Structure 1
Amino acid sequence: MRQTMSGPWDAALKRASTRSGPLAYYEFGAGDRVLLLLHGFPDTPRTFESLVEAASQAGYRCLVPYMPGYGDSALPDPGGGSILAVGRMLSDFLDQAAAHRRVCIVGHDWGSILAQMLCGLQQEVPPPTYRIDRVVLASVPPLRTFLRRINPRQMVRSRYMGYFQIPGVCERIRRDDFAYIRTLWRRWSPSLDPHHPQLDRVIDCLRRPHGLEQATDYYRALINPLRLFGAPEALRQLRLMFSAKPWPALILVGSEDDCIGPGMYRGGPHAFPHPDSAQEVLPEAGHFLHLERPEVFNRRVLAFLG
């Protein structure tokens, strides 16, 4: 599946209309269990090819969207790349695609953050029609854990977030033929093949008109949520993100991840107070651990989801 599934993936592309705008997604499998797979930055849904194959064979119906702002998925209107707006858009999608069903979520990088937001939205009254069963957070810990562990070394690792605040930075990256994006992949996953076919797909996705601006809007909204919503909704976003979430969660990090180091994850399961919550460091893997060690990643995820 890794390099020979272009045809099946192209045929599996669908589109949904949400209250915040259109969302493009892939659908595989016909099982009773629903698995939502959320990619991060800089990435695309195709990053989950190996897991989709394994999960489909295990009886899951896999929903794999282009995150809002990527591909044919619009940024939410209103709200742009704010965590709350993107989370509501994904929640609307699940209300359509998985109404009254139990849903497991695997989120990588920004997908991890949005999985956390979806859990927060599940706690509101009235809750969505779908029901979250279990979550897997890969390569980004619970945000409440991250902020408690922040230190100078991590601030250096996260300097790219500040870079995306500079006016004109997206045009600069385009002029350099996206060399900065390739640098991030190499820095975050030192052992990953720099010619991995997924990276070419990422660059092609970001080359689309306004593609890079939309993908990096998540970071601008993270730094300044008031510009999108104003104080009341910004406070709601904080409450939803930092509340304890009583779902079983598996938190995975690569031992060589130089985007967010393993030390930033200590105590992560406390944000998901459930007896089945657990955390694991995958050896010989960096930020894109699901691409570097797909067999191990798939085995851990599917064993946890049951």
Structure 2
Amino acid sequence: MNNDALIHHALTPHLKLAYEQHGPTTGDPVILLHGFPYSPRAYDDIAPVLAGKGYRVIVPYLRGYGPTRFNSPDTLRSGQQAALAQDLLDLMDALNIRQAALCGYDWGGRAACIVAALWPERVRCLVTGDGYNLQDIPRSTRPLDPETEHRLWYQYYFHTPRGVEGLTENRRALCQLLWKLWSPTWAEGPERYPLSTSAFDNPDFVDVVIHSYRHRFMYVEGDPALESIEEALTRQPPINVPTISLCGADDGVGPAAEIDDDIEHFTGSYERRVLPGVGHNIPEEAPEATIRALLDLLER
């Protein structure tokens, strides 16, 4: 953990949700959200800079990561997209945050995009990794081009009992492989990876990850309490809050397309920035570009 950040907890309806906080509690809130298989360490070079400018910076551990814990053993260890969004809303409510700037990528970007789409009044502005991150689950069973299917091998692996056992027994080695494959040109990746590994020791990590990758292909049921959110997401709602999309040109799982296919999903102020030499772990690989995007929106 960053030595300047202390772990705090917010009690939400389903979680004792851990988060790190920087800056004055009276500052305008900025929430920074990590993805899979990452941790709040992705924002180590970003949170202090924003805090130094007077912002209240909150960096949560997503469900299944680090010290975040479920309140009840009976709660479904869901990793579905609606659960991530609901956790974000619940955290904002628990901390009495009416509106925040959001920044996220991968799973965290999905949570941020969903809240921006369905509850825009809660979002001042949005920095999203790789554009429109809402899953189109009803169409998820349609085959993609072979090259894209090849990059999704880990998701299909997690659909099998062998994948569950593999993630359970080899989580650190497997996640390290994903870091390498997804950020192939990031020289600091091997040095940075050990800083995040303890976050994967959470007792719910495997269950949440497996559920996430099975639910998005309709191989498992979701949490019934979240069905209304999932139903709203089937309509692929637009995002109208001010948004900057950061895309890694060297992203090994979802390389930036030459043409921005996501632009139709953004109906407000929107800009896409493709980052040369950057892979999937955008804020940790490109902290200066991430800070610039946030400040460009916050200081308008």
**1:235 and 1:92 mapped to 2: Cα distance?**
16
**Higher relative contact order, structure no. (Cα contacts within 8 Å, ≥ 6 residues apart):** 2
Distance 1:265 1:109, change over 3 A: farther
Query: In the TM superposition, what whole-angstrom CA distance separates every residue of 1:1-37 from its partner, at most 9, and x where no partner exists?
Result: xxxx73322xx21011101221001111115311011
Superposition CA RMSD, Å? 2.9
What is the CA–CA distance in structure 1 between the aligned matches of 2:135 and 2:267, rounded to whole Å? Answer: 13
Task: State the AA in 2 paired with 1:152.
Answer: P
**Residue 95 (structure 2) pairs with residue 97 (structure 1):** yes
**Structure 1: runs of 5 or more not aligned:** 124-129
Taking structure 1 as reference, are residues 176 and 19 closer, same or farther at Cα in structure 2, changes over 3 Å only?
Answer: closer
**Aligned CA distance change for structure 1 residues 238 and 137 (closer, same or farther; 3 Å):** farther
Find the partner of 1:198 among 162, 169, 192: 192
1:1-306 aligned within 5 A: 6-9=2-5, 12-30=6-24, 31-74=26-69, 77-78=75-76, 80-100=78-98, 102-122=99-119, 131-139=122-130, 141-143=132-134, 151-176=145-170, 178-193=172-187, 196-224=190-218, 227-229=221-223, 233-234=226-227, 236-240=229-233, 242-263=236-257, 266-274=260-268, 276-306=269-299
Contact 1:28 / 1:62 at 8 angstroms: preserved in 2?
yes
CA distance in 2, matches of 1:66, 1:211: 11
Q: Is the 8 A contact 2:100 2:123 kept in 1?
A: yes
Q: Measure the CA separation in 1 of the matches of 2:31 and 2:41.
A: 13
| Cα offset, 1:182, TM superposition | 1.3
Gaps of 5+ in 2: none
3-state secondary structure, aligned to 2:19: strand
TM-score by length of 2: 0.85
Change (3 A) 1:121 1:145: closer
Q: Is the contact made by 1:154 and 1:261 (CA closer than 8 Å) also made in structure 2? A: no
Task: State the AA in 1 paired with 2:52.
Answer: Q
Q: Which amino acid aligns with 1:108?
A: Y
Aligned residues: 291
Superposition deviation, residue 189 in structure 1: 0.5
Aligned mates of 1:248, 1:257 — CA distance in 2: 24
Aligned equivalents of 1:150, 1:236: Cα separation in 2: 26
Deviation at 1:187, TM superposition (A): 0.8
Mapped contact 1:109–1:138 kept (Cα < 8 A): yes
1:194-218 Cα offsets, whole Å, 9 max, x none, are: 6544311332222343433333432
SS at match of 1:113: helix
Q: Deviations over 1:111-162 (max 9, x none)?
A: 1111122124416xxxxxx721101111464336997995332222122111
Letter in 1 for 2:18: A
Q: Percent identity?
A: 24
Indicate if the aligned counterparts of 1:145 and 1:264 stay in contact, CA closer than 8 A. Answer: no
Residue equivalent to 1:127: none
Residue aligned with 1:143, SS: coil
Query: Of Structure 1 and Structure 2, which has the larger fraction of its residues in helix?
Result: 1
Pick closer, same or farther for the CA change 1:89–1:290 going to 2, 3 Å.
closer
Task: Give 1:225 deviation, angstroms.
Answer: 7.2
CA distance in 2 between counterparts of 1:64 and 1:33 reads 14
Mapped to 1, the partners of 2:270 and 2:171 lie a distance apart of: 42
Cα distance in structure 1, aligned partners of 2:52 and 2:182: 31
TM-score (norm 1): 0.84
- State how far apart, in whole Å, the 2-side matches of 1:8 and 1:250 are: 28
